[in-house]
Structure 1
Amino acid sequence: MHGPAGTSQASRTPRADGWAAPGFEAVRDGFEAGQRDDPGAAQLAVYQDGKQVVDVWAGADVIGGRPVDGGSLSVVMSVTKGVVATCAHLLAQRGLLDLEAPVAAYWPEFAQNGKEDVKVGDLLAHRSGLSAFPPEARVGLPQLLDWDHCTRVLAAMAPLWRPGTACHYHALTYGYLVGEVIRRITGHSVGAMLATDLSAPLALDLWIGLPAAEESRVLAQFTRETRPTARQVDEELARFGLGRSDPLVGGTLATMASVAEATEAFNSPAAIAAEIPAANGVGNARSLARLHAALIGPVDGTRLLTADTVERATAPQTDHLPAPSPFDRLPADSRSRHAFGYELPASHLPMLGTGSFGHAGAGGRLAFAQPRTGTAVAYTCTTLAWNPAAGPDPRWVPWTAALRDRLGMPAV
């Protein structure tokens, strides 16, 4: 793969390749319209009632120059969290995992520093108080590639707030926390469970821990945005009376720096061969849409989760919870809504309305299902451009509107 990306090529108007089933042509046209100002590559796949009805792609690999088609792979960032959640819910469905049980029942070393009563569900719903590594642990990219190191740090640390009383996004720690519970139950990593229990039965091109043989198919990701300086960050924090000395603020800033470092590093083979299950899943829209279709109904005879499991897994878990102090001083307009490992519709993430569930990923990746209409959708991109604080990704809007119209759903 090629090195971290810089700036992109000039904007152009890409033509979408691929196909759309009769009645879904407007969804393809909407995808093409959404990509008009995006120089990178993107894919959109839609399943309806267990059958694929849209498979389109557009754009170019502006960094590596690799060919782009529906089988191309890219890093899907936090869409990976929903995949990890699916592994956990499969274990729960099999009677091997109790979401209400203490984490320590599966991971005894976790019962330190006030975490004895933290539940598995708290990890999945971002309520555990472990949203960031302790700043003094200095967990940067080299440490993120070391599974045992990360899980030891998390097992030893004290929560940053009283677990269960607040919600704050576990941007990187989520994957190690839920992944270690899965490892303790199965004896295998979450990437291995994905390979055997999800990807194999559904014939998915989807991995956490990419095999070297697949590396040549991966398109490089890049951003046109510039990072704020330390001074700009401090000035923004000061607007809300926040400072780096607060453990939660300091840990969150360290996590943001690690995410930025990892995002660039995901253009290297070593970083996508490792397992960072909150962020470094690699796949394509075809496979993500197929996976989500199999959560709500049979796909070629395979259904992953029962209707009862889906109902439990997608029940809102955080709508009643505030942000932890001192983040409760910040505007809440773009706060995510969480179920057990899946995101639920919000102002910045409308999906297909109430009942939808899935997960978005940094820069604009998205995968979700809507059981009420029997629809599953996945969108991948290589240009990291989405700003949740500004609302839905503009690239989603035209094809989402066309899909809602096709399904007879009201416009938003």
Structure 2
Amino acid sequence: MNLALPRMPVLSFGRPTRVVVPRKLAEHTRIDAAAECDPRDVGLDPKAVAGIWTAVERLYRTGLQPAITLVLRRRGRIVLKRSIGCLRGNGPGERGPLVPLSPDTPICLFSASKAISALLIHKLAEQGKLRLEDLVVDYIPEFGAHGKHRVTIRQLLAHRAGVPALPDDVDPSPELLRDWDRCVRMLCEAKPFDVHFERQAYHALTAGYIVGELVRRVGQIDLHDALNGWLARPLGCRHLTYGLPEARRDDAPHHWMTGPRPLGPLARLAKDILGVEFDVATAASNTDAFLSSVVPAGNIYATADDASRVFQMLLDGGEFGGVRVLQPHTVREAIHPVGRIQWDATLHFPIRFSAGFMLGEEPFGLFGPHCGEAFGHLGFMTVLCWADPRRDISVAMLNTGKSIAPMGLLRTVGVMNAIAHACKPV
């Protein structure tokens, strides 16, 4: 992992891959007006809230996002629940009748799945079945190979377990996702890149398998059942599942690589994070192997409302809709920082983690300006789920375009800036 950040992104400016954007965006827009409250009822200026959706429309106009859904809650009430784009018929080069996306369409959270899977560990801690300071080997003895016997569960959740990637000689094809036991075994046998377990290195998919194995062994429960019983059902979620059952797959959109293809150092950085080339990772997310498997760090499917419910529950100290999902002390433990901000050896930028969540910063961080109290997670570049106690908001923005195009990233930042502008600190 000796990759250095390029001073300037290196892109292939061959024929870009984008979707057709209609002049009248209303053709591709769906609003759940019955769900949205009057912004003034939660202390917001309607014009500023309209500015949030204008920022989403500007992102869509780049042609880099075939579909976007957004749910924004303020003081626990839905202010925006909208979608723009198509479920099918308007992917890059796709032909066929246009089917507009519904705000209640399930979309993959990708790496934002990590935060939700981490809550299963926190639930076990709440039940008194483990502690975050326990060693992983207390429950998975074989994980202790090559000095990893010193890794705690907290370090595992905070990307300090020393195994950010699979061994170089492993074929990372989608079919590998079907073999849970092999994935766990390889990670148990892997040599850590940092024998002191002090360096933070984002574990894109790897740590999720050990997290999942802990849930299985300690909780004596299947991961599907844990996710459904401990989170999805109490929160009243429509989906929130690992992968998608075949019967539901027609209800979910494909994911598309859009814009220029990364080359040079940027391509190597993307592969360092994802484990495979950028386009290969995107294509893999549409395969049966991905949709049929349990990938705790990367394949939870949810609607934007489902994801927002999870973060609203955390924002409200573990309760949602009058139902106690987690205890307040469990939530505090889940979002408490693990150490100070550190230069991440995989992501190659500074970021703080808690035991499962990416954390905001001052004066500007992952979740926008002045987001020092915010917690959430990023998924495959531009999927964003977070809560900000200072603004009393929970947000989920899900999308289907996978792109490193600068304009798309800038417009995504524009959406977060618009949210911060509209939702002043309370």
User: Which TM-score bucket, shorter chain as reference?
Assistant: 0.7 to 0.9
The residue aligned with 2:276 is 257
Moved over 6 A (4+): none
The residue aligned with 1:240 is none
- 1:362 matched to 2:347? The reply is no
**Kept in 1: contact 2:175–2:289 (CA 8 A):** no
**Kept in 2: contact 1:368–1:377 (CA 8 A):** yes
**Kept in 2: contact 1:150–1:176 (CA 8 A):** yes
Match of 1:342 among 352, 357, 379: 357
The residue aligned with 2:13 is none
**Kept in 2: contact 1:125–1:318 (CA 8 A):** no
Match of 1:195 among 220, 225, 228: 228
- 1:312 matched to 2:338? The reply is no
- CA deviation digits over 1:291-346, x for unaligned, max 9? 1111122321124333322222222224354545xx7xx9x5x3332111100014
CA separation in 1, counterparts of 2:173 and 2:350?
26
**Aligned-CA RMSD value:** 2.9
SS of 1:136's equivalent? coil
The residue aligned with 2:30 is 17
CA separation in 2, counterparts of 1:391 and 1:33?
13
The residue aligned with 1:218 is 252
What letter corresponds to residue 137 of structure 1 in structure 2?
V
The residue aligned with 1:242 is none
Match of 1:300 among 321, 326, 333: 321
How many residues are aligned here?
Answer: 382
CA separation in 2, counterparts of 1:286 and 1:236?
33
Match of 1:52 among 59, 74, 78: 78
Query: What is the TM-score with the length of structure 2 in the denominator?
Result: 0.81
SS of 1:47's equivalent? strand
- CA deviation digits over 1:351-372, x for unaligned, max 9? 4611110101113101111234
What letter corresponds to residue 329 of structure 2 in structure 1?
D
**Kept in 2: contact 1:127–1:166 (CA 8 A):** yes
Match of 1:268 among 282, 287, 302: 287
Offset, 1:349: 0.8
Structure 1: unaligned runs, 5 residues or longer: 1-5, 238-248
The residue aligned with 1:34 is 56
Q: How does 1:328-407 map to 2 (within 5 A)?
A: 332=348, 334-346=349-361, 347=364, 349-351=366-368, 353-385=371-403, 393-407=409-423
Structure 2: unaligned runs, 5 residues or longer: 1-15
The residue aligned with 2:138 is 105
**Kept in 1: contact 2:336–2:354 (CA 8 A):** yes
CA separation in 2, counterparts of 1:137 and 1:383?
28
Match of 2:101 among 59, 68, 71: 68
**Aligned sequence identity (%):** 27
What letter corresponds to residue 185 of structure 2 in structure 1?
R
What letter corresponds to residue 85 of structure 2 in structure 1?
G
CA separation in 2, counterparts of 1:125 and 1:174?
9
